[in-house]
Amino acid sequence: MARYHRNEAREWAREHMNGVANVTIPTMTSDFKRINTKAARHDVETAIGHGFVGTLACSEHAITLAQYAEFTRAMVEQAAGRIMVIHHAVFNSLEENIEAVKLAEEAGADLVLLGYPPFFHPKSLDDVYAYTKAVCDSTRLGVILFPVPAWGFGRLHPADIPLPLLRRLVDDCPNVVSIKAEGGMPHIMSAIEVHREFHKEVVISSPLEYEFVPLAQVIPIPFCGTNYSAYYGPWLPRVHKLIQAGKFDEATQAWYQVDPARKAFGTVPMAMGGLINRTIWKYQAWLQGYNGGPIPQPTPRLHGRDMAVLRRGLEAAGLAPTSDPDEAFFIGRNPQ
């Protein structure tokens, strides 16, 4: 159950969406038949220890709705109100996403990150509006809108979800609480435009750390997430606090410090065919103490050359990756 009423969603989000949110990837038991809830709890506790204020219950995997609900429930129970659990609304169809968001709400998730299925191929921006509003109307939870090129909406507008459409959704859906501003990336025009138009109404998120750290020094950006920053351990939550305290010189030096890890991250195959390589994300998090462990097929393979690059990047940045051998990643820290 939500910790707020639907008509209070924006006020709740304004209070709680101040910090950084990472991503929690589900782990299977060693026989691949069940969700490893012990691993999920470990990852939530590690995120709390690293200073994150939220974490995404990642759904881009070959797991059932029932397994996803179990995964989310374990995360919520472990979080116990200490960290936001964000539902990942990217299942196969509108109908399935409505079913999933209801399950996530029942499990106790706090917010919804709204994505779009691979076979949702809108003919117009009105189709995007109708889909988005249908999901928003189906839940009491606050919804994070997510303009990003991955959805394929760039053929309709360069900003992916342009300002007039965002305006309709913010006006018509009172539980829209935030915009994760990645439209038109790698360019930042859409992110700037979104902030200029909406920052007094909803929370604007700049989720990419290499943009957030410089941009947040010149415009107020309270939230950075959801993102891959588990790779950096507690580094980004600490930098967020520096920025909030106005310690921009220290934040800038920290941004430069992490450059070797940032460049290592940029050299591995991260998004093949528009699908994020969650196996690599899981390994990156494992390097910083998260669980690791098996993901069900189909999933990208993880190769030694990429593991070596990512580990060396953290070492060069002074971010202290685990000394555990890489083969331990494939088992995980809490095998079941």
- Phi and psi dihedrals of 270, rounded to 5? -95, -30
**Is residue 305 pLDDT above 80, yes or no?**
yes
Cα–Cα distances in angstroms (integers) from residue 115 to residues 38, 94, 112, in the given order? 27, 11, 9
Inter-residue contact 330 to 292 (CB < 8 Å):
yes
Q: What is the mean pLDDT of residues 219-247?
A: 98
The domain locations on the chain are: 6-256
DSSP 183: T
Cα–Cα distances in angstroms (integers) from residue 325 to residues 213, 260, 286, 294, in the given order? 32, 21, 11, 16
Q: Alpha-carbon distance 188 to 228, whole Å?
A: 19
pTM of the entire predicted model: 0.97
Residue 2 binned pLDDT confidence (cut-offs 50, 70, 90): confident
Tokens matching residue 88: 């990942």
Tell how strand 223-224 and strand 271-272 pair up: unpaired
Q: Alpha-carbon distance 219 to 276, whole Å?
A: 29
The single-letter code of the amino acid at 106 is E
C-alpha 21: how far from chain center: 7
84-110 pLDDT, tens per residue?
999 999 999 999 999 999 999 999 999
CATH class of 6-256: alpha beta
Q: What is the mean pLDDT of residues 144-152?
A: 97
Task: Give the 3-state secondary structure of residue 56.
Answer: strand
250-299 pLDDT, tens per residue?
999 999 999 999 999 999 998 877 779 999 999 999 999 999 999 999 99
Neighbouring C-beta atoms of residue 121, cutoff 10 Å? 12
Q: Alpha-carbon distance 15 to 160, whole Å?
A: 28
Tokens matching residue 163: 């300002």
Give percent of the chain above pLDDT 90. 96
